[in-house]
Amino acid sequence: MREEFDALFCNLISAMAKSSKQRTLSVYLYIPNIVGYIRIVLNCIAFALCFSNRRLFSILYFVSFVCDGLDGWFARKFNQVSTFGAVLDMVTDRVSTACLLAILSQFYSPGLVFLFLLALDIASHWLQMYSTFLSGKASHKDVKDSTNWLFKAYYGNRLFMAYCCVASEVIYLILFLLAKKQSESVIDVLADNATKISPLSFLIIFALFGWAIKQAVNVIQMKTAADMCVLYDINRKHRP
């Protein structure tokens, strides 16, 4: 009887482990997550070619960025929203943007500007994700309880957020394509090209506006998330 019970118990554990592996594998193979893997491959190829073929780099980088919108659409369309997918998406975004900003810091002066933007981007999103975890929210985009109208408008309107994000990446890609080997002033390059009557000048002005909004949101997000972490500590200390 004992042997039969042990065998039944082992079979049950084995079945549970197999079922768990199947569920884990199924999440890894979600359509939006596969899109995420494609983005990583595209970015790896793009950065491998960034100094030898700038145009191809820009195309691959921008296609990868466009896929950032597709994975979210697939997740909602096929009900395949997952925490892993959300983390994969954010990490891919932050790493790709960070690499591009690091490259731009070598082309333009002051390079510290791009390193500051890199630090702001990573810090604000990391704090936002961590504060989301502490507050028990399902998504870092859930900012309904925020009192800042710009912050709520940014995450509350997908088109507005998409415009700001695309505008930021477009500015960085334009600077990358315009960069020369010698160190140039980033302000002079943007001003010279923005004042010329051309489609490029219109694109620069249109993108700069969205870029500025996104940086303002990053500052607000970092401060709001930091306040949330502090409030969590205060509430924890006052618990009986």
pLDDT range class, residue 236, cuts 50, 70, 90? confident
Model confidence at 240, pLDDT cuts 50, 70, 90, reads low
* Angle CA 143–149–155, to nearest 5: 40
| Residue 17 confidence (pLDDT) above 60 | no
Kindly report, residue by residue over 85-130, the tens digit of the pLDDT. Answer: 888 998 999 999 999 999 999 999 889 999 999 999 999 999 998 8
pLDDT reported for residue 13? 41
Give the residue carrying structure tokens 């390059």: 189
Q: What is the structure's pLDDT at 176? A: 95
Write the single-letter amino acid at 99: C
- Label residue 24 by pLDDT band (50, 70, 90): low
| CATH for 81 | 1.20.120
DSSP symbol at 143: -
Peptide bond into 110 cis (omega under 30): yes
Q: Which of 68, 71, 89, 93 is catalytic?
A: 93
Query: For 107-128, b where at least 16 C-beta lie within 10 A, e where not — what string?
Result: bbeebeebeebbeebbebbebb
| Closest by CA position to 176, among listed 99, 90, 124 | 99
pLDDT recorded at residue 76: 85
* Strand, coil or helix: 33: helix
Give the predicted TM-score (pTM) of the model: 0.84
**Residue 108 DSSP SS3:** strand
Cα 143 from Cα 156, distance rounded (Å): 8
If we measure between CA atoms, which residue out of 181, 156, 172, 164 comes closest to residue 218?
164
Read off the pLDDT band of 57 (50, 70, 90): very high
Amino acid symbol at 33: N
Q: Using an 8 Å Cβ cutoff, are 62 and 50 in contact?
A: no
Q: Indicate the range of 6-15, 45-54, 91-100, 119-128 predicted with least confidence.
A: 6-15
For residue 22, the model assigns a pLDDT of 53
Mean pLDDT of the chain: 86
Q: Is the pLDDT of residue 73 over 60?
A: yes
pLDDT tens digits for 199-226?
999 999 999 999 999 999 999 999 999 9
Structure tokens at 108: 């333009």
Alpha helices in the chain (DSSP H): 2-28, 31-48, 54-77, 83-107, 112-135, 149-156, 158-178, 186-194, 199-237
End-to-end CA distance of the chain: 49
User: CA-to-CA distance for 139 and 79, rounded, in angstroms?
Assistant: 15
Retrieve residue 15's tokens. 């079945």
Q: Quick count: other Cβ atoms within 10 Å of Cβ 29?
A: 11
161-199 pLDDT tens trace: 999 999 999 999 999 999 986 778 898 888 888 888 889
Structure tokens at 3: 């042997």
Range of lowest pLDDT (12-16, 64-68, 147-151, 158-162): 12-16
Any catalytic annotation for residue 233?
no
Cα 95 from chain centre: 8
Domain count, the chain: 1
Q: Residue 8's domain spans which residues?
A: 2-237
